Amino acid sequence: MSDTFDRIREAETSFHMPVYGRQPVAFARGAGSTLWDTNGTEYLDFVAGIAVMSVGHSHPKVVEAIRTQAGLLTHVSNLYYTEPQVLLAERLHDLLGWGKVFFANSGAEANECAVKLARRWQREQERPGRAGLVAALGSFHGRTVATLAATGQPAKHEPFAPMPPELVHHVPLNDADALDGALDDGIGALLLEVVQGEGGINPATPEYLKAARELCDERGILLIFDEVQTGLGRTGRWFGFQHSGVTPDVVTLAKALGGGLPIGACIAREDVAEAFRPGDHATTFGGGPVPCAAALAVLDVISTEGLVENSARMGELLVAKLRDGLASAPAVKDVRGVGLLVGVELSGEYSRDVVDACRERGLLVNNVRPDMIRLSPPLIVTADDVERAVAILAGVLKERA
């Protein structure tokens, strides 16, 4: 390890709260699908900042947009209008074909907005008793109190228990009968990921999402899709829900939107959005000029460089190569994914060992469960990148046989 890395690690231990189980590497720069650490060692990045760096690291158009906007105006708060925010809201509306936007700083905050909006909308419908929320087991929606409660992973609740008991009811994913039973008169909204990312790359089936839409329509319940990880091309469509043909009432975005800068968005059907009144919800930093300028550049790059289509093609190639390359590896139980959100399920709980071994060979992947490896490379990834990543991962996993 370099002296620079040792200083960074020592300072982190002394001055940063111990909330991260960091890997023993510090990165200094990135370009495209490649990162370099403080020693100058090169890595193929199949984490992409947890599905954030969709257009790759340091894309020139995004860098220039950030640099230009920072030289003009960085912050004035939401007491005033700024052009980048309005342009981005219009752009997201046009991508969806509907909706009004609230800008936050993260996916958790976007989901928090969606939960508050659902309660406010139900009150506008003169149904104030419909304050409850249904979410899926295995889901992940954030780490605020409300979004942690919505997260269907009890182990994440335990250190902060009790969770608000009246807020969330959890049901198994893809179980329409359980959903039918849970959506009672006390429920105001249903919050679902179209593909569970942190829960293990678990897609919701089109049939399940259609049943969810029908049940919500029948019972006056808002359908919210958390597309924080799946939105903006990750699944091979602009939005993951487009694979099913089911349109939500509210959709949340973050991660890929800002090209590495913090921004989230809660987008609601126009009549639902109108339930909010001035003062009902707010943020000091959300939708600031620099993150919005970056996001506009990101959307331009995704569109002009055909990255949604590339995500679909490379995602199919990645899954096919993984299934072929790992077919004889007893360490592997399953390979599944949608677009460039792909999971390799292991036959045992040794995913951290696999992550470490891949990193030592120049490939970055991450473990979302003790038995699950996630691959979420930038959408600019090439066939050569896929070949290289699969060769490294296959080599590591075959050694465990």
pLDDT digits (tens, 9 = 90+) for 6-21: 999 999 999 999 999 9
- Residue 226 bears catalytic tag: yes
pLDDT attached to residue 134? 97
Provide CB contacts within 8 A for 334, sequence distance 6+: 343, 344, 345
- Residue 15 bears catalytic tag: no
Band (1; pLDDT cuts 50, 70, 90): low
Share of the chain above pLDDT 70, in %: 99
Rounded to an integer, the average pLDDT of 140-169 is 87
pLDDT tens digits, one per residue of 107-122: 999 999 999 999 999 9
Catalytic residue among 37, 45, 226, 371: 226
What pTM, to 2 d.p., does this model score?
A: 0.96
pLDDT attached to residue 39? 95
- Does the pLDDT at position 307 exceed 90? yes
Give the chain's mean pLDDT.
96
Catalytic residue among 103, 255, 276, 321: 255
- Residue 140 bears catalytic tag: yes
Q: Are 50 and 375 in contact (CB under 8 A)?
A: no
The C-alpha torsion from 103 through 106 and 109 to 114, rounded to 10°, is 60
Burial (CB count within 10 angstroms: exposed 0-12, middle 13-18, buried 19+), residue 111: buried
- Does the pLDDT at position 290 exceed 70? yes
Domains of the chain by start residue, with CATH: 3-55+306-398 (3.90.1150.10), 61-304 (3.40.640.10)
pLDDT tens digits, one per residue of 217-236: 999 999 999 999 999 999 99
Q: Which residues pair with 369 in a beta bridge?
A: 372
- Does the pLDDT at position 401 exceed 70? no
Catalytic residue among 46, 102, 103, 140: 140
